[in-house]
Amino acid sequence: MRKRERENPCGICGHYHKYEEGEVCGVCGHRMPASSERSVEKGSAFPSEILKDFLYLGSYDNASRSELLKTMGISHILNTVPACQNLYKNSFTYHCLQDDKVLQFDDAIQFLEQCEKDKARVLVHCMSGKSRSAAIVVAFLMKSKGWHLAQSFQWVKEHRPQIELSSAVQQQLLEFEQHMLGSNGATPIQAFTQSESFPSFGFGFPKPPSSVPLPTFNQHATASIFERASPNDFPSDFTFGAGKTPE
């Protein structure tokens, strides 16, 4: 390796590889994200705070910035992608989900509950911080707050607008909600009011339409046109609707 290369380590993982050229790091496996994810990660060096001084949601890029995480007081990391390397095992307490297809909600929630009990700040991350990690955070809110899926999703979306749950992840969350609440989902949504709307992300939670009162006719008030006029009162050439435009 040439001297110039040794003097310019990767700004993300700190190891020596040609990050800008897309070369995968031989030490930790770090690589430049796909073009569809690059703009999001460049514009968001900080993870998103979901619950104050406790729960944070972010990307693998966020999890790779050890000094930043230490500055934020984060000491625990929940890695939801088995393929992502746990870069700083001597500096942080890691917990990694082992299945790359089925999200292990109970396992993840147990770890987060222990972090909360220990008053530790924890980062939950996947590769882009948009789907798998977001789903884990949504599930944790459902379990810890007793919220429905729609409410939990809206909370996370408000704190991290770029999240985009895949269809597979959405289905797993729906099944998790049914498991928690039963088939009828009888637990009320505590924090929603009639003036608030559900997020439009395809889970099928439409807001009930408000009732429109029917007009009332007061017989003691001024008579309506229906009371004053009879069919013979209208001109013979009268038509309802817009008239013919004169040529």
Q: Which of 10, 84, 115, 126 is catalytic?
A: 126
Q: Which of 109, 95, 107 is nearest to 152 (CA)?
A: 109
Does 126 qualify as catalytic in the annotation?
yes
User: What DSSP string describes 125-170?
Assistant: E-SSSSSHHHHHHHHHHHHHH---HHHHHHHHHHH-TT----HHHH
* Spatial distance between the Cα atoms of 25 and 19, rounded to a whole number of angstroms: 8
CB 137 within 8 A of CB 55: yes
DSSP string, 159-213: H-TT----HHHHHHHHHHHHHHHTTTT-S--TT--TTS----SSSS-PPPPPP-P
Q: Which residues are catalytic?
A: 126
